[in-house]
Amino acid sequence: MPFRRACHVFPFLSSQSGDAALSIGFTRTLFAIYQIFSSPRATSVVRVALNAISTAMRLAKRLCVFLLFNVASSFASADKVTTASVYWDSEEKVVVLKEGVLETEGDAYGYLNDTLSRTGWSVLEIRAGYGKSPETDEVTFFLAGYLEGFLSAQQMIDHYANMYPQLIHDPKILGPLQSFMTKQDLWTREQVKLNRSSDPLWKHAGFIVAQMDGLQAGVAHWAKKHGQKPLSLFAVQFLNAVGDLLDLIPALVPTSNPLRNFKLPGMGHCSALIKMLPGFENLLFAHSSWYTYAATMRIYKHWDFHITEPHTATGKLSFSSYPGFLVSLDDFYLLGSGLMMTQTTNNVFNTSLFDTVTPESLLAWQRVRLAHSLAKTGEEWAKTFSKHNSGTYNNQYMVLDRSRVKLGLSVDDGALTVVEQIPGLVEYSDQTQALRRGYWPSYNVPFHHKIYKLSGYEEMWEKHGEDFSYDLCPRAKIFRRDQAEVRDLDSLKRVMRSNDYKKDPYSKGDPCKTICCRADLRAEKPTPAGCYDTKVTDFFMADDFRAEAVNGPTTQDGLPPFLWDDFSSMSHQGLPQLYNFTFIRMQPLLFKP
């Protein structure tokens, strides 16, 4: 990468006095980067670089962040670290983008480390709103989106190419979907204009709209530079609404099912576990995503946005995600408000509920973002999320409030709020008592009886048996049995990656009646879908926005790594050919908690 100009020291490095403090802060930063980027042969190089740069800091009291990434990227030749800073020219109303540098006086700055092929994950980090010249919150979000779009444009193009045929498998879907998305977007923008001065929800909705507009503009900048066709607004909307489309498409075109090869009776999509150790010594938190393997272009994201709007709960969040997504989708979030959130998806078998779906609503992905920005408690999160329910991407959300957990002492009411949505209804309740008893599992069957019944699960249980029972479905039994073995992160990982379908009596020989499904191993009609990742953290790690994550179908219990060779006809542009990755550590480098 070309060296453009000097850039400022990390703000948190200069917050302590004296040369020693600067060196200590830099040491910690360099070793954090070393853990993510290094190869085994790099240790001695790090020591030399550390000594040299520490000496330089004592002389100059300034550090160019660009150098960190230039050094770090040399440790892993297969990786590509891209850095950039953006400024807002308020007179010309244009974005000024500088490649190859991280300038902390910029209105937004960040990096993308493209390690997908080596570790299974790319890592994106963006700081915005901390520039020398203060900008409005709308500009901050626009620039954050712009920078993300520019840094991850190629990945966005590849991911769109892979996901489009998964969802738009019939041309007749496209027209109604585009019409709905256009109307929903126009309605949202109109509500922002009408209500942003009086309602914080719509003020923050405007921030999200600005971020999406910036995302598209950033991709367009990259595409023009590289002579490629830019992604349309619909393409950017499509990516962010992938979860919503799973319900929206069959609602608009009833004969169409975007999960036709995946959402089979007895097969869910996602597993989650929240575990409190017996003496309240620690709280463990995990999620495994289930969907098509075509969706495995993963990016773990760290955002730090300085927001001046007074009702804001936080602008800091770390989450598992995908190219072009302004949300997690999985979901797996660590928030600066002290909240943690994950979810699993529930089916809506009673399709008459979709009659209430209207474009005059906020999609689930937008409401999740709003709840993250505005809520400081689980109940506040649920109430915010409930507003303007679209009835799409109908999930069970688990919101954990770390401020209500006193390790070794008590787990106070409000620690765990469980929120479930169907078209026309959002129901939530305090389920802290489950944590006190030891654990909360989630496995694509509604907990709240009203949601369970209205969704059609009761009828499905009568027709198809216990696979649709909250208490007796296979994963309920497996979690009930195996959660007792969870004592630390390693044992948590084993449970969340488990798939002993050939021997486990609860699996009955089905590789998808397990915690981590492998539909590609089914004897009949194998398909490249199932459990393709796991993310874990604990109470202490969450305080530093730390987690560990693995991408790819599980290889636990002697299962073979997944190869695309047997499913080469499915679009998997830009994806690894072989998935045999291990857990890697995720932690932001540009900001501190």
Q: What is the CA radius of gyration of the chain?
A: 23
Strands 410-411 and 94-99: unpaired
> Closest Cα to residue 158, out of 322, 372, 31?
322
Does residue 20 form part of some domain? yes
| 3-class DSSP assignment, residue 555 | coil
Q: Which residue, chain included where needed, has tokens 């300038």?
A: 103
What's the rounded Cα separation, in Å, for the pair 315 and 128? 10
Nearest Cα to Cα of residue 554 among 495, 509, 504:
495
Rounded CA gap, 363 and 372, in Å?
14
Q: What is the DSSP letter of 560?
A: P
- What is the structure's pLDDT at 255? 76
Residue 336 is assigned to a structural domain of this protein: no
Q: In the chain, which residues have pLDDT < 50?
A: 1-78, 259-267
Amino acid 72 reads A
Sequence letter at residue 443: Y
On whether residue 49 sits in a domain, the answer given is yes
Q: Hey, what long-range contacts does 525-529 have (CB within 8 A, 24 or more apart)? A: 525/261, 526/566, 527/261, 527/262, 527/567, 528/292, 528/293, 528/294, 528/562, 528/564, 528/567, 528/570, 529/261, 529/262, 529/290, 529/291, 529/292, 529/293
Is the residue at 9 inside a domain? yes
Q: Does residue 391 lie within any of the structural domains?
A: no
Q: 223 in a domain, yes or no?
A: no
Residue 478 lies in a domain: no
CA distance linking residue 243 with residue 124, whole number of Å = 21
| Residues 261, 187 contacting (CB under 8 angstroms) | no
CA distance readout (Å), 445 to 11, 77, 78, 267, 469 = 46, 45, 42, 10, 7
Gap between the Cα atoms of 276 and 484, Å rounded: 10
Gap between the Cα atoms of 234 and 182, Å rounded: 8
Domain that holds residue 39: 1-77
Place of tokens 């002697």: 558
38 domain residue, yes or no: yes
Q: What is the pTM of this model?
A: 0.88
CA–CA distance, 332 with 343 (Å, rounded to integer): 7
The pLDDT of residue 206: 99
Number of domains comprising the chain = 1
